[in-house]
Amino acid sequence: MKAKDFSYDYIIIGSGFGGAVSALRLTEKGYKVLVIEKGRFFKPEDFPKTNWQLRKWLWWPALKMFGIQKVSFFKHISVLSGVGVGGGSLVYANTLPKPKSPFFNQGTWQGLEPWERVLEPYYKKAYQMLGAAENPYLAPADLALKKIAEKMNKPFKPVKVSIFFGPKNKQVSDPYFNGNGPKRSGCNFCGACMTGCRYNAKNSLDKNYLYLAQKKGARILAEHEVIDIIPLNKNGSKGYEVVFKKSTAYFAKKKQLKTKGVIFSGGVLGTVPLLLKLKKTNLPLLSDMVGKMVRTNNESLIFNTVYKGHLKGKMSEGIAIGSIMTYDENSHIEPVRYGKGSGIWGLLAVPTVHQSNFVLRSLTLLYKIIKYLPVRLKMLLFDDFAANSVVLLFMQHLDSTIQLKRNRWGIYTSQEKEGIKPTAFIPEALHFAHKFSKTIKAIPMVLFTESVSGIPSTAHILGGACMGQTDSEGVIDKNNKVFNYHNLYVFDGSMISANPGVNPSLSITAITEYGMSKIPPKTNAVHKK
């Protein structure tokens, strides 16, 4: 086909960390780029004041809820993910830790490159682009963690975060990109980062990569979802037709655009289901590894809700995540907070239980519910659950995997893969949560799906389109190119090929920067192809 027959050189599916980086770097290389995002554009005033404003906070299109937070339930895992222009950066906790060495030397990408050394300059570039800065304020929850860390002789430090710590609530000219970025305002430490920053302090992707990409000519089409990709010949060397429709309407007509290349950046729950569908239809040469090696970062999310003492009402102070403690060589712990008033999770929280046996777990849970009933009722009816709760995020780089598959009805469900599966009962996490709760006079609780069914929760689902030496080992090669197809790439959490054991956003950004460096600039010769 001739160049004039294509609407775009690249269509990017999703605007999270992978999609945003891709949009800027490809546009800088001279390519004509379209980003298709199923969520909405958000201005600071569009975010909910609390997560009780469900229509603004939750993504549930069937009920006309078009917020930034999506909650998905599967047989073996429940997942929190982000939706909107900026993807997960709108709802994440801004935290940018770099993984330890084991991450770079395990999983299906092991040995493809000396990753720790190769990616080092791209981590630095990611830090610069995301405006990384060390948290300057240790809030009460951080200080409580620091106190325990000192007693246990464990490493503790403030985290690097993607936040502008300028004059509080005062608008200033762009501080990051020589005036080419948007105006910004300094953080006021309200703790509401994860319901969307209403004060223009969070360095979400719409403030950096996506903002700059649009200035350079990239187009973003919000509120649309890609439903099909059709190669114009067997291996896609002649391009693709991308089929999409409105994501915020019950009845929407299909639209089509032709493009030379496609980049999957919809996150695990966007990219993997689409690839699974395409493998059975228009892209049969996709690897059989699609949907396999899905990881949860081996996480545990445990609420600690203060019911008395001097810390009561102070858990929302600070930024969403302000510090990190190294628990052991495999594990990290971070205290996570919501802003005042965002206590909807309190409706779903029940006391922690340890037993793996369902009957014993149910009896223990019933006993604890009765035991803490007066305190729980007071918390829900009279206290501010968010202002009194800190979530301990426990993460490990130890491997545990599941598999995403399609069933006969086209519904995507998680299936156990051979090996260790994720669990809601990580002994180290439970032990530390009880130690922490005693220190701050709190009740440790988890989502009812964990205590009742044993299903763990994660905010960092990864994998499903991992790297490999060949298509028998992975879905993409070491440069993120999909095996057996031309100009088809994956840049998002589904490419992550080992558990990082820390928040993955920085790594997704760095790996995408590296992958983009491997795509040559657009030239007349390339254009004519």
* Positions marked catalytic: 460
Residues in the chain: 529
The answer to whether 275 and 465 are in contact (CB under 8 A) is yes
Q: Which residue has the tokens 């004509």?
A: 32
CA 502 to chain CA mean position, Å: 12
The answer to whether 46 and 116 are in contact (CB under 8 A) is no
Q: Output the CA torsion sign for 439, 443, 447, 449.
A: positive
Dist CA 5 CA 28 (whole Å) = 22
Angle, vertex CA 35, rays to CA 33 and CA 38, nearest 5:
165
Dist CA 360 CA 458 (whole Å) = 25
Q: Which residue has the tokens 């291996």?
A: 235
Q: SS3 sequence, 460-519? A: CCECCCCECCCCCCCCECCCCEECCCCCEEECCHHHCCCCCCCCCHHHHHHHHHHHHHCC
End-to-end CA distance of the chain: 8
* Pairing label, strands 219-221, 33-36: parallel
- What letter would DSSP give residue 190? B
What residues pair up with 257 in beta bridges, in sequence order? 242
Q: Which residue has the tokens 């703790």?
A: 191
Dist CA 337 CA 320 (whole Å) = 5
Work out the burial of residue 300: count CB atoms within 10 Å of its CB; fewer than 13 is exposed, 13-18 middle, 19 or more buried.
Answer: buried
Angle, vertex CA 485, rays to CA 295 and CA 275, nearest 5:
40
Q: Among 161, 196, 164, which Cα is nearest to 183's?
A: 164
Dist CA 445 CA 52 (whole Å) = 20
Helix (H) or strand (E) holding 335: strand 331-336
- What letter would DSSP give residue 498? S
Q: Which residue has the tokens 């059989």?
A: 288
Q: Which two tokens stand for residue 68?
A: 């930034």
- What letter would DSSP give residue 290? T
Q: Kindly give, in sequence order, each residue whose CB lies less than 8 Å from that of residue 261, ignoring residues fewer than 6 positions away.
A: 9, 10, 11, 239, 240, 486, 487, 488, 489
